[in-house]
Structure 1
Amino acid sequence: MKVVLYSLLALTLISLAACSSSPTASKTRSEMEAGTKTGTVKNIVITETITPTSLTVRAGDEVRWINQRQEPVTVNIDGPLEHNVSCRNGFSKAMGMGIDNSTTLSSNETAGLCFSRIGTVNYSVRPSSDSSASLATTQGSISVQ
């Protein structure tokens, strides 16, 4: 009787271990937090202006801002990002606690978002300090289809 009981207990423990929901080695914690990309990468280049100022992407495409200026700039997204993006790079709040609507890019630094909801996303790019008078705050829009 004890043999049957121990066998049943061992089988139960093995079944529970096989059904656990821990992340696999093929997907790291940072990949899970950042999400996944499902499309192509579309670049927005920041120089004396931003190019392009209007961009059309598909849901899941990554929009990547590239700062080619010598001075840092701040990219600010209008509206909430929670539940509207499927991946992010550079828009995280401190200690990974959600998504921040803005990010500061140093020279030659990039940041990106994958928008998951159809609609229009407006953003602005501005100098990060008062010393960058050559770049006015510039508005842009992304149409997600």
Structure 2
Amino acid sequence: MLVTLILQGITMITVEKSDPFSSESHRLIEMLSVELAAITGDNGKSNFTVEAMSDDKALWALAKNSHGKAIGCGAIRPLTQNIAELKRMFSDRSVSGIGGALLTFLEKSAKEMGYRELRLGTRHMNYRAVNFYEKNGYIRIENYGPYIGRTEAVCFSKPLR
């Protein structure tokens, strides 16, 4: 599957399944880690490894601009048979709509893979992420998995219809 965002007749963003071990993926993961550390004091690497993307029910995606440069990334990985977790969402914000294009791609892909729900965790102080997910129909839920008992964390869920 491929998602392409076209604005005013110009292809701006293309999102597709990609190799999480590629140099482009590594560059974006590192950019995300630096940004998370600056916002929250934690780079977020403790709850994600690229090796987890080798699972058949996992997916790594890259968003690319009209010149083919990787400008965003995101992943889904299994939590249960019916629930996937959204991980490592990142946009370099070089063009508008990267996050939305990635999220659309990952939600459609998760549904096609048989998932019925997406979940994610972030931190309360990551206001940009919290606002983004709420704007895109995610609702706050009780903290799950590694986020249980962590007062700085906030978790979200969205049914896939």
**TM-score (normalised: structure 1):** 0.26
Q: Which structure: greater helix fraction?
A: 2
Tell me: higher relative CO, structure 1 or 2? Use CA pairs within 8 A at least 6 residues apart. Answer: 1
